[in-house]
Structure 1
Amino acid sequence: MSKLNIDQKSIRELLTEKHADFLIPDYQRPYAWGEDECATLWDDLFAFAFPDDDCDKFKRESDEYFLGPIVTFRNDDSQLEIIDGQQRLTTIMLLLRAFYDKFGNMRDKQSKQVRESIARCVWKTDEFDEPDMDRLKIDSEVASDNDKGELLEILKGDTVEPGWRSTYACNYRYFQQKITTMAGEWPSYVALLATRILNNVILLPIEAESQDTALRIFSTLNDRGLPLADADIFKSQFYKHFSSLGRKDEFIERWKALEETAADIFHPAVGTPMDELFTRYMYYRRACKHIHSTTTQSLRDFFGQDSYKMLKSEESLVDLEVLLDFWKRVDRQEGFSDRMLRELFVLNYAPNGMWTYLLSVWFLANHDEDGSCDEAALYDFLRLITGFIYAYSMERPGVNALRVPVFPQMENICDRKPVEFSAYRFGREDIASRFRAYAFTNQRRFTRSMLVWWAFQNPKQKLMSLDTRLEIEHIYAKKRTETAPLSDPSEIEALGNKAMLEKHVNIRASDYRFGDKKKYYEGFVNDKGVEKVGTDNQELLDLARTHEDFTEGDITNRTDKIIGSFVDYLGDVGLLK
């Protein structure tokens, strides 16, 4: 069982302890509190210290203001690395430093005493208990914070340079201004406010025995803001490695570029964009290590093996950069042939995200020095995984179900062996009958997957932007069945009655006859002279130009055609028995 040291303490008690030596580690995010947060803190502290603006209503023996937890662990250098509480502790230090500065111009006994107390909170002391202004109680090594030097200079020095525009400098000036205004209106309140902050504002320091324990505690306690992501921890390992090589600034620049690009192209439902990049990379490294287990480790457990050895290398950072560049080109639909982009568009509508992991493994195993791949080989691979993932996922739609057949193929990719899914090929009649029995409801992701696949089987179908919003269109409108019911009512939801249509086309429910729909498919100019753009779905355009009506027989024929074409597709890519 993990050991925890928990004991609520006043700011004075916490910061004047003999071993109070806090470190904001390199993997933390930069300081983010702005003037709004500082104003809220100031107003709260003032209202707490002077209830109803009356200093005599404060009960110094019992009144407490709880500021929150500070989650730390003591690292190998005996510093308390801050996992949670960085923002509030940094802000408190800036506030105390602003009070200290103000008390330097005040000569009354109380102000001098409070100033001495603050000094022992901000700076470490020598053996005679005298504050040493060169030794701070808090330090920052945040890798991506270019302004951390200003924080340290503000805490050590007496002034903020006019040219400083960091969040630290702005917040420090804000507190200076508030204290100066207060001294002008209620001069006797200044020392009281500082004293009550020191003695009656409470923090809950939680010292864990390890970084992992501290991170788990943070995740449990923190339901506001963003917890530290796995990628933040990984960043610290890279940072230490490159710093040891004298390449710290180079790493910071490269990591920043990774973060910006990942944020632009990845939008995961869980975790951060950088976590998504590491997840895709993890599958490649798993395959290279021939890990057979279908139970995947967490990112932190996987990359944390052997003291994060995998991340203490140039190779891993280069891999991440090359992999992210590949996905950037996929996202921007650049640098690939038209036929490749069409396959990638279809895969973006796959029933699940397993294709992104498979493709990441294939790319990293097969790219050349400039990040390019053999076009024909990649095209064949895309078609193969499209067929397999679509067919396998019809009845087993989740990513987890694909691990058993897919993980061995990832190993084959890294071993330069053929990817064939030979143990999981489909019988022609069996897969066709399963498709015919499948309920292609609008709520099922697989319905959308098949309709996009079918649209791009038309050689005339032009590429669409990945930002295009597609919705499921009933060619034979549901409303039409009110006056012209189908002999088989279930046909209204058949695959053959559905197509993908851009949201902007927006066919009105009242235009339920096929003759009415045709103008929306093709585009038209309305009564007000406004052009209504038609669809880019080539099949719907062809239907509008060649059909006067779309009947129940057309639904049946189109369903058979789609299913038959997909089964033939499976045969073409070698997935039929």
Structure 2
Amino acid sequence: MSKLNIDQRSIRDLLTDKRSDFLIPDYQRPYAWGEDECATLWDDLFSFAFPGDDYERFDSENDEYFLGPIVTFKNLSGQLEIIDGQQRLTTIMLLLRAFYDKFTNMKDKQSVKMREAIARCVWKTDEFDEPDMERLKIDSEVASDNDKNEFLEILREGNVGDGWKSAYARNFAFFQRKIEQLVSEWPTYTVYMATRVINNVILLPIEAESQDTALRIFSTLNDRGLPLSDADIFKSQFYKHYSDTGRKDEFIRRWKALEEGANAIFRPMRGTPTDELFTRYMYYRRAKKGIRDTTTASLRDFFGADGYAMLKEDATLDDLEALLGFWKRVDAQEGFSERVLRRLFVLNYAPNGMWTYLLSVWFLANRDSKSALDDEALYGFLNKITAFILAYAIERPGVNALRSPVYPEMINIVEHRPVEFPNHHFNRANIAERFRTYVFTNGRPVTKSILTWWAYADPDQPLMDLDTTLEIEHIYAKKRNEIDPLVDQSSLEALGNKALLEKRVNIRAADYRFCDKRKYYEGYTDGNGKRKAGTKIAELKRLTQVMGDFTEIDIATRTARIIDAFVDYLGNNGLLS
């Protein structure tokens, strides 16, 4: 069982402890508190120190203000690496430094004593308990924080340099202004407030025995900010590797670009966008190791193996950059043939995200020296995985079900063998029957997947932007069914009664009869002479030109066409037994 040292302590007790040697590690995020957070803290502390604006109503023996936990672990250098509490501890240090400067020119006994007490909170002390002004109680190595030196300089010198615009500089200046205002409006209160802050504001230091334990504690305690992500931890390992080889600045530049690129295109359900990039890369490295096990290790466990050995390879960052570049092109719909972009559009509506892992592995295994891919091979691969993933979602729903057939194919990809899913082919009659009996409700992701595939099976279907909001349209409207019920009510949710439709069009067309829907599908001019664009779904436009109505028979006919076409698609991609 992991051991923890937990002890509620005042700011004075915590910071004057000889063991207090805090480090904001390289993998932490930059300091992010702004003036709003500092103003809230100042107002809270003032109200605490002077209840009802009266300094005599404060009980110095019993009154306490709990500021929050500080979660740390002792690293190999003996420093306390801060996992949680960086923002509040940094802000408290800035506040104490501002008070220290204000007391510099005050000669009364209480101010001198308070200045000496604060000095022992900000600086380490020698064997005679005298502050050593060259050694701060806190240090920062945050890799992506270009302003951290300003923080340390402010603590050392108490000055904000010309042109400094960092959050540290702004917040320090804010506290200086608030203290000046306090001295001006409540001159006798200044020393009381400083005293009550360091003696009665309480922190809860939690010292864990390891980084992993500290991170778990943080994830449990923290319900406001974002816990450190896997990518934050990986960043620290990269940072150390590149620093050791004299390329620290290069790494900082490349990592910043990596984070910004991932943030721009990935929207993961869990973790950060950079975590998502690492996840897609993990499947490539798993395949290279020949791992078929359907139990997938966590990102941290996978990349943390052998002391984060994978993150100490120069090729790893190169691969991540190339992989990000590939997905940026996919997101921008650039750098590929029209037919490939159409396949990628369909996969964007796949019922789960496994296709992104498969395609990531395929890209990394098949790219040339300029990260280009052979169009014919890519097009064939996209068709193969589209057919397989959609059919498998009907036969065995759920992303986890795909692990068994997909993981071996990932190994085939990196070993440059064809992707064939040989043990998971579909029987033509069985899969057709599964489609006919499957209930394609709008809530099932595969419904939109099949409708997207069907839309782009039409050679006249134009490529749409990936950010187009598409909804599922009932061609025979639900409202119409209430007035003129279908004989077989299951026809309402049949594939043949559904199509993709842009949200802006669907809102207008939703409740109408087909003869009324036609103008919305085609586009029309409103009463003010303003043109309202129709749909870009080619099939719906064509239906308006050749059909006066859409009936129950038409639903059945169209359903059969969709199912037959998809089963043929499976056969064309070698997936029928």
TM-score, normalised via structure 1 length: 0.99
Q: Which residue of 2 aligns with 1:525?
A: 525
Q: 1:322 corresponds to which residue?
A: 322
Offset at residue 34 of structure 1 (A): 0.5
Q: Deviations over 1:318-348 (max 9, x none)?
A: 0000000000000000000000000000000
Q: Is the 8 A contact 2:349 2:448 kept in 1?
A: yes
What are the superposed Cα offsets for residues 271-316 of structure 1, whole Å, 9 maximum, x if unpaired?
A: 1000100000011101101112111111101100111111012100
User: What is the letter of the counterpart of residue 280 of structure 2?
Assistant: R
Residue 479 of structure 2 aligns with which residue? 479
In 1, Cα distance between equivalents of 2:282 and 2:364: 11
SS in 1 for 2:457: coil
**Residues 333-344 of structure 1: matches in 2 within 5 Å?**
333-344=333-344
Question: What is the rounded CA distance, in whole Å, between the counterparts of 1:472 and 1:573 in structure 2?
Answer: 27
Asked if residue 19 in structure 1 is aligned to residue 29 in structure 2, the reply is no
Q: How far apart, in 2, do the equivalents of 1:356 and 1:183 lie? A: 61
On the 8 A contact 2:237/2:311 being kept in 1, the answer is yes
Farther off after superposition, 499-508 or 247-256: 499-508
Q: How does 1:414-433 map to 2 (within 5 A)?
A: 414-433=414-433
CA contact (8 A) 1:507 1:520 kept: no
State whether residues 508 and 520 of structure 2, in contact with CA within 8 Å, keep that contact through their aligned partners in structure 1: no
RMSD: 1.0
Q: Take 2:485 and 2:390, find their aligned partners in 1: how far apart are those partners? A: 32
Name the CA distance, whole Å, in 2 between partners of 1:382 and 1:566: 15
**Residues 477 and 510 in structure 2, CA contact (< 8 A), matched pair in contact too:** no
Map of 2:386 onto structure 1 = 386
Instruction: Name 1:163's counterpart in structure 2.
Output: 163
| Offset from partner CA, 1:127-161 (integer Å, 9 cap, x none) | 22211111100000000000000000000003212
How much does 1:443 deviate? 1.2
Distance 1:40 1:492 in 2: 56
Give the whole-Å Cα distance in 2 for the aligned partners of 1:459 and 1:63: 75
Q: 1:407 to 1:543 in 2, by over 3 A?
A: same
Residues 470 and 501 of structure 1 are in contact (CA less than 8 Å); yes or no, is this contact kept in structure 2?
yes
Change in Cα spacing, 1:359 to 1:175, as seen in structure 2 (3 Å) is same
Kindly provide the amino acid, as one letter, of the partner of residue 31 in structure 1: Y
3-state SS of 1:81 partner:
strand
> What is the rounded CA distance, in whole Å, between the counterparts of 2:149 and 2:529 in structure 1?
61
In 1: Cα distance, 2:485 partner to 2:218 partner: 59
User: Given that residues 34 and 171 in structure 1 are in contact (C-alpha distance below 8 angstroms), is that contact kept between their aligned partners in structure 2?
Assistant: yes
Taking a change above 3 Å as real, the CA distance of residues 134 and 549 of structure 1, as seen in their structure-2 partners, is same
Change over 3 Å in CA distance of 1:86–1:407 after alignment to 2: same
- Report what 2:118 is aligned to: 118
Deviations 1:198-228 (A, max 9, x none): 1111100000000000000000000111111
- Is contact 2:72–2:214 with CA below 8 Å preserved after alignment? yes
CA contact (8 A) 2:509 2:517 kept: no
Q: Which residue of 2 aligns with 1:44?
A: 44
Contact 2:71 2:84 in 1 (8 A): yes
Find the aligned partners of 2:522 and 2:346 in 1 and give their Cα distance. Answer: 23
CA distance in 2, matches of 1:436, 1:476: 19
Task: Tell me, yes or no, if structure 1 residue 64 matches structure 2 residue 54.
Answer: no
Structure 1 gaps of 5+ residues are none
**Compared CA separation, residues 509 and 358, structure 1 to 2 (3 A):** closer
Structure 1 stretch displaced more, 183-192 or 207-216: 183-192
2:473, 2:510 within 8 Å by CA — same for their partners in 1? Answer: no
The structural deviation recorded for 1:162 is 3.0
Q: 1:177 to 1:385 in 2, by over 3 A?
A: same
How far off its partner does 1:539 sit?
Answer: 0.4
Instruction: Tell me which residue corresponds to 1:351.
Output: 351
| SS of corresponding position for 1:456 | helix
Check whether the contact 1:15–1:137 (CA below 8 A) recurs between aligned residues.
yes
CA distance in 2, matches of 1:81, 1:464: 49
Equivalent pair of 2:133/2:156 in contact (CA under 8 Å): yes
SS of the equivalent of 1:142 reads coil
**For 2:147 and 2:484, how far apart are their aligned partners in 1?**
70
Indicate conservation of the 8 Å contact 2:282/2:299, yes or no.
yes
The answer to whether the 8 A contact 1:349-1:448 is kept is yes
User: Match of 2:187, SS?
Assistant: coil
Query: 1:6 is matched by which residue type in structure 2?
Result: I
TM superposition shift of 1:397: 2.4
Alignment partner, residue 203 of structure 1: 203
Residue 501 of structure 2: aligned partner: 501
1:451 has 2:451 as partner: yes
Superposed CA deviations along residues 363-388 of structure 1, whole A, max 9, x for unmatched, are 11111111111111111000000011
CA contact (8 A) 1:515 1:548 kept: yes
Alpha-carbon distance between aligned partners in 2 of 1:39 and 1:288, rounded to the nearest angstrom: 53
1:2-60 CA-partner distances (Å, limit 9, x unpaired): 00000111101100111110000000000000111101111111111111111111111
Please state if 1:92 is matched with 2:92.
yes
Question: Equivalents in 1 of 2:418, 2:113: separation in Å?
Answer: 78
**Shift >6 Å, 4+ stretches:** none
SS at structure 2 position matched to 1:566? helix
Deviations 1:91-125 (A, max 9, x none): 00000000000000111111110000110110011
Contact residue 288 and residue 414 of structure 1 kept, 8 A: yes
Matched residues, number: 577
**Equivalent residue, structure 2, for 1:106:** 106
Q: Distance in 2 between matches of 1:514 and 1:180?
A: 73
Deviation at 1:236, TM superposition (A): 0.4
Cα drift, residue 485 of structure 1: 2.5
For 2:503, the aligned partner's letter is K
Aligned-residue offset at 1:395: 3.6
- State the alpha-carbon separation in 1 of the partners of residues 18 and 403 from structure 2: 53
Range moving further from structure 2, 508-517 or 466-475 = 508-517
> 1:352, CA displacement in angstroms?
0.6
Q: Name the residue aligned to 2:236.
A: 236
Distance (whole Å) between structure 2 residues aligned to residue 193 and residue 114 of structure 1: 10
Distance 1:130 1:302 in 2: 48
How many Å apart are 1:510 and its aligned residue?
8.0
C-alpha distance in 2 between matches for 1:5 and 1:275: 31
Match of 1:177 in 2: 177
Native 8 Å contact 1:455 1:461 kept in 2: yes
Aligned position for 1:545: 545
2:81 is aligned to: 81
Offset of residue 509 of structure 1: 6.1
Give the whole-Å Cα distance in 1 for the aligned partners of 2:297 and 2:49: 50
Whichever residue aligns with residue 415 of structure 2, its letter is D
Letter in 2 for 1:400: N
1:512-560 deviations in whole A, cap 9, x for unaligned?
Answer: 2211111111101011111110000000011111111112111111100
CA positional deviation for 1:488: 1.6
TM-score by length of 2: 0.99
Whole-Å separation in 2 of the counterparts to 1:510 and 1:132: 75
Q: Secondary structure at the match of 1:66?
A: strand
Aligned partners of 1:106, 1:146: CA distance in 2, in Å?
35
Cα distance in 1 between the residues matched to 2:147 and 2:372: 38
Helix, strand or coil at the partner of 1:351:
coil
Taking the aligned partners of 1:440 and 1:361, their CA distance within structure 2 comes to 31
Q: Structure 1 vs Structure 2: percent identity of aligned residues?
A: 71
| Shift, 1:511, TM fit | 5.7
Cα pair 1:70 1:85 within 8 Å, conserved: yes
Q: Is the 8 A contact 1:507 1:517 kept in 2?
A: no
Instruction: For residue 83 of structure 1, give the secondary structure of its aligned residue in structure 2.
Output: strand
Q: Which residue of 2 aligns with 1:409?
A: 409
Q: Letter of the 2:42 partner, please give it.
A: W
Q: Distance in 1 between matches of 2:129 and 2:442?
A: 73
Matched position secondary structure for 1:394: helix
Q: Report SS of the residue matched to 1:18.
A: coil
Q: Distance in 2 between matches of 1:395 and 1:34?
A: 53
CA–CA distance in structure 2, aligned partners of residues 257 and 39 of structure 1: 33
Shift of 1:185: 1.8
